[in-house]
């Protein structure tokens, strides 16, 4: 998930800790730790559950709901409410929204862990999605106003690396917990993380002093929430259970119409809008939005389908399936901070062109996984390529987005970019539903088609970066200014 904005010196000065020297550095590190812990909740839960799908399905054999809803039930409210969460953070305070989102996530995790039926589990997953929509954009917006210059690039690189590592380590930890304790323990691990984020956030995070707080764009918020919810709900009616039914098509179509109305309303409201349309006057911001949607959609395909294939087709245990993804967190954690600093020096175009292209090569190599007989020859090479490509793109993408808008729109820009990333992941999950009900030779065939789609999508992301971004799109790009009325 990725988003961002640039912040002027005055805003940074206002948000800087009053202490100086070593105390100020320690304060910033604790703020970074707060945002990493908070965002890790969302990253971990978007991946850890993928390994647990077979075990959850066995626990509720008589359910009438597709198990793909366990993933989609989380992504749907997350996609629908990210814009509202980002805008609310800008209006009411990032600290307040962060603490509220983490608190809701904690309660929802308890509900998931104790759920007596699949329906109750789905309710908990929906609440987790709402909490994630509150904490994701605000955690990144807090980073933006707490760091400046190259320090911001490094901080965002660490944030991105930690999030990617948490998301990739999640399947391994989840697999071990499933084998040793049971799938409910996957949700219990959220509790200490949430408690740590709440403590640090309450003690060290401060909001910018409000200068002129505009009322929340209620009409825009309603239209965006309804439109995104309808579109994502329509996409989530997977082909396994419904096919492209009239209901699924109607939901997607209604959502698209409502979003078109939302754009028209926001254009009229100008700077008072929840999402100022003038943000897209920036060629860089538009290009980065396209890269985000395509690259994270492809990444979502991998994280959902690879563990399922290994468990169902190759008879891996849940722990072994999670361990198969281990190269990704190690590679990203080691290289993402460096890539964040590199993007600050050479610009975002080159890393965001090469990174997705390497990801596309990794997807092509992954097409041979179903027929491979060895992890070292069939799975590891593709995982290394995918990891290197994502490591080269994650931090530069996040840093460049953060540098493309002014501070007053940091939360909504973060929410918009995160919404694009999560919507891409949701679309991938919807398309992957046909694979999740396949077995044997049919599973191998559909998996190969999914990997080919991931390769094409990743290559398109790299092409968008090359075409839309300037040769010198640095993290210090002058932000798009939206004149307030």
Grouping H, G, I as helix, E, B as strand and the rest as coil, residue 406 is coil
Written as six digits, the tokens of 317 are: 């245990």
In the predicted structure, residue 351 carries a pLDDT above the cut 80: yes
| CA 174 – CA 184 distance, rounded (Å) | 10
pLDDT in tens, 187-205: 998 999 999 999 999 888 8
Q: What is the mean pLDDT of residues 263-267?
A: 82
Q: Residue 212's beta-bridge partner residues?
A: none
| CA 32 – CA 147 distance, rounded (Å) | 9
Residue 482 lies in a domain: no
**CA-CA-CA-CA torsion for 150, 101, 133, 349, nearest 10 degrees?**
10
Contact 153, 476 (CB under 8 A): no
The rounded percent of the chain whose pLDDT value lies above 90 is 18
Under the banding of pLDDT at 50, 70 and 90, the label for residue 240 is very low
CATH number at residue 270: 1.20.1250.20
pLDDT in tens, 289-332: 889 889 988 888 887 788 888 888 888 887 888 788 788 777 87
Contact 396, 295 (CB under 8 A): no
Written as six digits, the tokens of 39 are: 């965002």
3-state SS of 29-55?
HHHHHHHHHHHHHHHHHHHHHHHHHHH
Contact 204, 31 (CB under 8 A): yes
pTM of the model: 0.69
**Sign for the pseudo-dihedral over CA of 81, 84, 87, 88:** negative
| Residue 460 C-beta-side C-alpha neighbours within 13 Å | 15
Q: Which residue has the tokens 């891996």?
A: 316
pLDDT at position 164 is 63
**Of 93, 116, 123, 125, whose CA–CA distance to 190 is shortest?**
125
Residue 73 lies in a domain: yes
Residue 52 lies in a domain: yes
Residues of the domain holding 202: 9-468
Residue 480 lies in a domain: no
Q: Residue 405's beta-bridge partner residues?
A: 480
Under the banding of pLDDT at 50, 70 and 90, the label for residue 484 is very low
Tell me how many domains the chain contains. Answer: 1
Residue 97 lies in a domain: yes
- Supply the DSSP string of 164-181, one letter for each residue: HHHHHHHHHHHHHHHHHT
Q: What is the mean pLDDT of the chain?
A: 76
Residue 473 lies in a domain: no
Q: Residue 480's beta-bridge partner residues?
A: 405
pLDDT in tens, 146-166: 776 667 767 776 776 677 667
Contact 404, 4 (CB under 8 A): yes
Residue 477 lies in a domain: no
pLDDT in tens, 5-26: 322 222 222 333 434 444 456 6
Residue 184 lies in a domain: yes
Contact 380, 327 (CB under 8 A): yes
């Amino acid at each position: 998930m990725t988003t961002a904005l640039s912040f002027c010196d005055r805003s940074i000065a206002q948000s800087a800790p009053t202490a100086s020297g070593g105390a100020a550095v320690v304060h910033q590190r604790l703020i970074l730790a707060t945002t990493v812990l908070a965002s890790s909740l969302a990253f971990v839960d978007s991946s850890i559950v993928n390994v647990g799908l077979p075990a959850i399905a066995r626990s509720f054999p008589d359910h009438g709901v597709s198990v793909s809803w366990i993933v989609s039930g989380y992504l749907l409210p997350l996609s629908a409410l990210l814009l509202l969460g980002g805008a609310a953070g800008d209006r009411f305070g990032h600290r307040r929204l962060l603490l509220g989102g983490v608190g809701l996530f904690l309660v929802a995790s308890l509900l998931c862990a104790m759920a007596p039926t699949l329906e109750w589990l789905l309710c908990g997953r929906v609440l987790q999605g709402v909490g994630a929509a509150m904490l994701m954009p605000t955690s990144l917006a807090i980073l933006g106003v707490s760091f400046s210059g190259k320090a911001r690039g490094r901080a965002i690189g660490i944030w991105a690396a930690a999030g990617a590592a948490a998301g990739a380590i999640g399947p391994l930890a989840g697999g071990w917990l499933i084998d040793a304790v049971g799938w409910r323990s996957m949700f219990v691990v959220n509790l200490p993380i949430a408690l740590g984020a709440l403590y640090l956030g309450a003690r060290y995070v401060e909001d910018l002093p409000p200068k002129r707080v505009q009322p929340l764009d209620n009409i825009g918020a309603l239209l965006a929430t309804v439109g995104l919810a309808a579109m994502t709900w329509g996409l989530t009616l997977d082909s396994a259970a419904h096919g492209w039914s009239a209901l699924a098509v109607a939901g997607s179509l209604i959502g698209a119409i409502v979003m078109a109305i939302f754009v028209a309303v926001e254009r009229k409201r100008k700077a008072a809008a929840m999402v100022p349309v003038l943000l897209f006057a920036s060629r860089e911001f538009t290009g980065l939005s396209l890269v985000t949607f395509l690259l994270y959609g492809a990444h979502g395909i991998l994280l959902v389908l690879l563990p399922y294939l290994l468990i169902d087709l190759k008879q891996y245990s849940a722990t072994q399936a999670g361990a198969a993804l281990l190269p990704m967190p190690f590679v990203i954690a080691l290289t993402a901070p460096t890539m964040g600093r590199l993007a600050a020096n050479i610009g975002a175009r080159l890393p965001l062109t090469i990174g997705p292209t390497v990801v596309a090569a990794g997807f092509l190599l992954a097409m041979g996984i179903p027929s491979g007989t060895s992890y070292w020859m069939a799975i590891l090479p593709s995982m290394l390529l995918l990891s290197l490509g994502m490591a080269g793109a994650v931090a530069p993408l996040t840093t460049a987005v953060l540098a493309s808008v002014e501070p007053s729109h940091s939360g909504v820009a973060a929410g918009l970019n995160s919404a694009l990333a999560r919507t891409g992941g949701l679309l991938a999950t919807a398309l992957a539903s046909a694979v999740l009900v396949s077995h044997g030779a049919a599973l191998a065939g559909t998996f190969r088609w999914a990997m080919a789609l991931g390769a094409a999508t990743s290559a398109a992301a790299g092409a968008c970066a090359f075409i839309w971004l300037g040769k010198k799109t640095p993290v210090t790009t002058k932000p798009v200014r939206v004149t307030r009325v």
